[in-house]
Amino acid sequence: MRDIGFTARFTLVGLVGALMAWSVAAQAQERQLFMSVTSPGGQPVAGVTAAQVQLDMESAECSVTRVEPEVDKLKIALMVDSSGSVSNSIVSLRAGLKEFLDVLPPQHEVGLFTITGQTRRRVDFTTDRDELRETAGRIFGEADPGVALIDGLRETWDRRFDDEDPWPMFVVVVYDGAERSNGTSDREFNEFAMELVSRGATYHVIPVTTDGGSLQAQISLNLSQNTGGIYNALATPTGLPKALTDLATTIGEHHDQVKDRYHVYFECDPVDAAAGITVLVTPSGGQSVQLGLFADRRVEQ
């Protein structure tokens, strides 16, 4: 039997300094990485178990707690700014949402939410594209002058996603405007962002912003970078149909690229987020395999 190992160095947290404190957080917590296992010819190898995977981190004791195949469908919270800022571009917004729902592969579940001063669930998570399209076509700009983006994200995360959801995803369309969330401290925001990372969530966002300097744009840039999502700022809302079409296409193609990977959960004590990680897989049947390691489900841009 031939053992094939693969060593990689990467930061398990993300790219933004706001989360760097994670590396000195509590030690023996369950972490995760993603792993591809293929034959020399590039075909995915099925049936890899935790018993066949050995993981080592420099100067630490590690154990693989579970190995699960990647999910066959996504659970997407489509969150749309419906404040007064959208009133003059509602046609472009509705057209973009329709394009997104038309292009997104049909197996993925979508829930439709609008965010202003409060978050409203318009359609619960479903694969029924007709219901989603019909409701999206009735969205209009409300009298609210701003949007409570942080509150909306946190409420949706806490109430609409479950711990068992293997790949939660946010797709957010937000305009410049006053951020109306109740006072959220930097610590609370970091904890929320860190929970998204630890649960393997992805945050994609299309901010309609003149200079990228609004608080909504800064929040979205942070979350998209840390979760490996797409940040595609538009200077004008007329670009929404194309941007949402492109995003739906990318989500579908990206899922196809990663769907044969494995989700590897592990514990190491102590944890050094910058340390090199070595993974050794001992496949059944003595077959030779090739490995790839990934810190997250990041979309290559």
CATH number of the domain encompassing residue 152: 3.40.50.410
Q: Are residues 43 and 165 in the same domain?
A: no
The verdict on residue 109 lying in a domain is yes
What is the DSSP secondary-structure string of 265-281?
EEEEES--TTSEEEEEE
Q: Are residues 46 and 61 in the same domain?
A: yes
The verdict on residue 299 lying in a domain is no
β-pair type (31-38, 262-269): antiparallel
Is residue 254 within 8 A of residue 227, CB to CB? The reply is no
Q: Are residues 104 and 133 in the same domain?
A: yes
As a whole number of Å, the CA-based R_g of the chain is 20
Average pLDDT in the chain: 85
**For residue 89, what pLDDT is reported?**
93
The verdict on residue 134 lying in a domain is yes
In this predicted model, what pLDDT tens digit does every residue of 233-273 receive, in sequence order?
A: 999 999 999 999 999 999 999 999 999 999 999 998 887 76
- Counted domains in the chain: 2
What separation in angstroms does the CA of 269 have from each of 24, 56, 258? 11, 11, 29
Collect all residues with Cβ–Cβ distance below 8 Å to 158 and sequence separation of at least 6: none
Q: Are residues 210 and 276 in the same domain?
A: no
Amino acid identity of residue 129, one-letter, is R
Q: Are residues 228 and 94 in the same domain?
A: yes
Q: Can you tell me the mean pLDDT for 95-109?
A: 98
Q: Are residues 108 and 184 in the same domain?
A: yes
H/E run at residue 263 = strand 262-269
Residue 148 belongs to domain spanning: 75-256
Q: Are residues 136 and 93 in the same domain?
A: yes
Q: Are residues 25 and 144 in the same domain?
A: no
The pTM score is 0.85
CA angle 171, 177, 179 (to 5 degrees): 80
Q: Where are the alpha helices (DSSP H) in the chain?
A: 90-103, 129-136, 149-160, 186-198, 215-227, 240-258
CATH number, domain of 284, equals 2.60.40
Q: Are residues 57 and 97 in the same domain?
A: no
In this predicted model, what pLDDT tens digit does every residue of 167-224 receive, in sequence order?
A: 999 999 999 877 888 877 788 888 899 899 888 899 999 999 887 778 888 899 999 9
The verdict on residue 187 lying in a domain is yes
The verdict on residue 14 lying in a domain is yes
